[in-house]
Amino acid sequence: MNTGKLIQKHNRITELIASKEVRQSINKIKDLIDTANNGDHRRQIENIESTYKSMVKYTIEGVHDPERNKILTRMLQSLLSLADNVKQDILARYSGWHTYWLKENNEKEKNIAGKSIIESVDDLLFKEELDEWLNYAGTPSTDPESDYARKHRSLVDKIFNHLWLTDTYGEAETELINLTAKSSRFEWYENSIFTTAITLSALRYWDPEKIKALASIYRNKEEQVSERALAGLLLALYYYDARIHIYPEIEDLLKELSIDESFREHLKITILQIIRSGETERISKKLHDEILPRVAELKPKIEDKLDLDNLLPEDIMEGKNPDWSDMFKESEDLYRTMEEFSKLQMEGADVYMSAFANLKNFDFFRTISNWFIPFYPDHEAIDVLFRDDVLASGTNELAEALYKTPFICNSDKYSLVLNLQHLPSSQKEMMLKVFRMELEGLEQMKDNELGPDMTKEFKTNVTQYLQDLYRFFKLSPYKKEFDDVFRSALDFHRTNLFGMVLKDNESISTFADYYFGKDFYNEALELFTEMINEKPDEAQLYEKAAYCHQQNGNYEGALQMYKKAEILDRKLWTLKKIGFCNRRLGRHEEALKYHMEAEPLDPENMHTLAMIGHCYLDMKDFDSALKYYFKVEYNDPDNFRILKPIAWCYFVQGKFELSKKYFDKLDTSVMKGHDYINAGHLSLCMGNRVKALENYRKSIVVGKMDKKDFMEIFNDDADILIRNNIDPDDLPIITDYLFFDLED
């Protein structure tokens, strides 16, 4: 059976169960059972169906059963469990996945050894096996090839695989988790990967006991382990969000956890970092296509003194309200480009994903647990560096710097170490210098800290771990066997978890502003709308909601919100936005009205003057438009963009010489496809067809304009050309000549 179709069918079944559509759920589970051909499953669904039919019959007959809701909840849980089991059976039989091969091998090994793990409360056999396993554990050997070290690694692998591949946890698993957490025989980094095994197991097969186990590990507050437990808890609850209300014990657990203020704070940090992971691909593309090329262009100039005054953006009034927050400052100039990478890094953005994506092919990453092992200086992967002629002397410093740096996740640190041994000597020496500088920089950062940040270590650890998980789901050779929980991580605010634990105004505001600051306008709008219902007199909420509508292209919705904001707090920015939206909606007179109202509030604002000119231009009042464009030209002589509408106004009025005067002032560096078309029109009307065709050609070649777009603009302007004595029969000939020339 096609695994993709199986997963789709299973997802549909769980949706139906969550919606309490029992009859439809039963019918669809029957279809899956026919594929699995399992008699036990068939008997289970028949029993559930019989019970449900009796419940329906008694309800219709008016029989009152005070336990009905509890019975229905247990029935829904049974349906979910059965659907999950059928899915697992089909995948084990038909998928060919490594996960099920490994699971089967583990079972065979236990059977050969004469032992089996019985998933029940009375699982004494597993307790005996656990005791035998724990006899191998102890103080780690210094020799990674010693018999003890090999047995210990084998033990760790067995525990990881058991916790990962076990479907439902019983007393044996609970005891195993408690023993590994409390025993001094296991290091923190081993408990870290055991915690990840529980997370992977929870994502593979739903079991409330796994959720409870992760919550318990989080509560133990063991650094590095606790952060992983909370991240796993959140990802599992996010993945199974529709199921939470079917398991009252999970709702009770969340209510109990949320009493602790530190849990709520940790929750916000972790959710924001999960959401931030959704930006990784966008950041990788931005780094590759924009930031790094621009940094490369700057390289020869870096030694020169930067003229910062001339690098300030000319106008920010078309963007977000500058009063809202520093995070909305523009960063379009070259100097900001130099800061952007650092800012993203400090925020916890995953800026190294693309750089390390090609360094995940080492054999080290063929072991699933190695994707999640925290980096620590004594790991055996470091040992190879001690035997390297160049790196040996600085290996301790290198390992210490990697261990301490908060900017690279654990998985990438191992990639770096594994790759170092293959570099030329000169690059190895350079890397040693880099990491010595990194150590010094980290110490300096520590000295410069203004005060203690109680969540700093938590933020660092959870960020690095989530980036480790992200790499596994995106880059692992086994990724097709795991449903990618990061695929749609932007809708955390819609989950039951969010509604139960983070429903306070402060939390909602935090997430709304984060979404807004990162340009996730749909998500931000949902939260701003919710906040407006709570605070209907807060103008800034209407402003931000309006801006979200505007960025989504809903100018009517934006206009309504801007007008409400303007009633509460009349300001220049809001008036201009109302004018802007009206202009986009084609209401030119209304737009002019608001821009005219804005002008006295800031008479020297060139943007307002230009917008008034645009409104007159839209209304074809070219003389009035020119008056305002001339004001901008006079007050801002370096603004070459204002020359374009002036040239156009003169052109449509038939004042070709004046139009040419302004077109000639335009530097080719600021000309775009539309500008070349306009210049072509002017040359055509002035009788210079060769020059006209040259400009038309540049609109496509230099301005990178699509031929279809060119023809649409050309045809729209045909009336203007005809009014200026161009023969209409010549127009198709001109465009045909142009395209023949381009094809040649």
Q: Are 639 and 632 within 8 A, CB to CB? A: yes
Least confident of 42-51, 289-298, 376-385: 289-298
Least confident of 178-192, 307-321, 364-378: 307-321
Domain final residue, candidates 347, 367, 401? 347
Task: Label residue 743 by pLDDT band (50, 70, 90).
Answer: confident
Q: Are 428 and 194 within 8 A, CB to CB? A: no
pLDDT value, residue 116? 40
Task: Label residue 308 by pLDDT band (50, 70, 90).
Answer: very low
Looking at the structure, tell me whether residues 165 and 261 fall in a common domain.
yes
Task: Label residue 293 by pLDDT band (50, 70, 90).
Answer: low
Least confident of 198-212, 341-355, 402-416: 341-355
Minimal CA–CA distance to 616: which of 640, 577, 648, 575?
Answer: 648
State yes or no: pLDDT of 140 exceeds 70: no
Report the alpha-carbon distance of residue 705 to residue 708 in Å, rounded.
Answer: 8
Asked, for residue 553, whether it belongs to a domain, the answer is no
Looking at the structure, tell me whether residues 323 and 392 fall in a common domain.
no
Asked, for residue 679, whether it belongs to a domain, the answer is yes
Instruction: Write out pLDDT tens, residues 692-731.
Output: 999 999 999 999 999 999 999 999 999 999 998 999 999 9
The CA–CA distances, whole Å, from 269 to 234, 264, 272, 440, 511 equal 11, 9, 5, 28, 10
Report the alpha-carbon distance of residue 371 to residue 360 in Å, rounded.
Answer: 9
3-state helix, strand, coil in the chain (%, to 5): 75, 0, 25
pLDDT value, residue 336? 57
Instruction: Write out pLDDT tens, residues 473-486.
Output: 999 999 999 999 98
Instruction: Write out pLDDT tens, residues 233-244.
Output: 999 999 999 999
Asked, for residue 601, whether it belongs to a domain, the answer is no
For 352, the token pair is: 């190294």
Minimal CA–CA distance to 271: which of 243, 225, 237?
Answer: 237
Looking at the structure, tell me whether residues 162 and 266 fall in a common domain.
yes
Asked, for residue 436, whether it belongs to a domain, the answer is yes
Looking at the structure, tell me whether residues 341 and 357 fall in a common domain.
no
pLDDT value, residue 184? 77
Q: Hey, is 636 helix, strand or coil?
A: coil
State yes or no: pLDDT of 299 exceeds 60: no
Q: Looking only at Cα atoms, what is the longest distance across the chain?
A: 99
Looking at the structure, tell me whether residues 134 and 70 fall in a common domain.
no
Looking at the structure, tell me whether residues 661 and 690 fall in a common domain.
yes
Interhelix angle for 539-551 vs 555-568, to 10°?
Answer: 160
Asked, for residue 618, whether it belongs to a domain, the answer is no
State yes or no: pLDDT of 435 exceeds 60: yes
DSSP structural state of residue 302: T
Asked, for residue 34, whether it belongs to a domain, the answer is yes
Asked, for residue 325, whether it belongs to a domain, the answer is yes
Percent of the chain whose pLDDT exceeds 90? 58
Looking at the structure, tell me whether residues 715 and 733 fall in a common domain.
yes
Looking at the structure, tell me whether residues 272 and 123 fall in a common domain.
yes
pLDDT value, residue 154? 84
State yes or no: pLDDT of 309 exceeds 60: no
Asked, for residue 638, whether it belongs to a domain, the answer is no
Give the residue-averaged pLDDT of 69-86: 95
State yes or no: pLDDT of 11 exceeds 70: yes
Q: Residue 109, class by beta-carbon neighbours within 10 Å (0-12 exposed, 13-18 middle, 19+ buried)? A: exposed
Instruction: Write out pLDDT tens, residues 577-588.
Output: 999 999 999 999
What mean pLDDT, rounded, does the chain reach? 85
Q: Are 330 and 316 within 8 A, CB to CB? A: yes
CA quadruple 233, 234, 240, 244: dihedral sign: positive
Domain count for the chain: 5
Looking at the structure, tell me whether residues 366 and 284 fall in a common domain.
no
533 versus 307: the higher-pLDDT residue is 533
pTM for this prediction: 0.81
The CA–CA distances, whole Å, from 260 to 253, 257, 265, 463 equal 12, 6, 9, 22
Give me the torsion for CA of 366, 371, 376, 379, rounded to 10°: -10
Looking at the structure, tell me whether residues 291 and 391 fall in a common domain.
no
Looking at the structure, tell me whether residues 134 and 190 fall in a common domain.
yes
pLDDT value, residue 117? 38
Looking at the structure, tell me whether residues 104 and 181 fall in a common domain.
yes
Domain that holds residue 89: 3-95
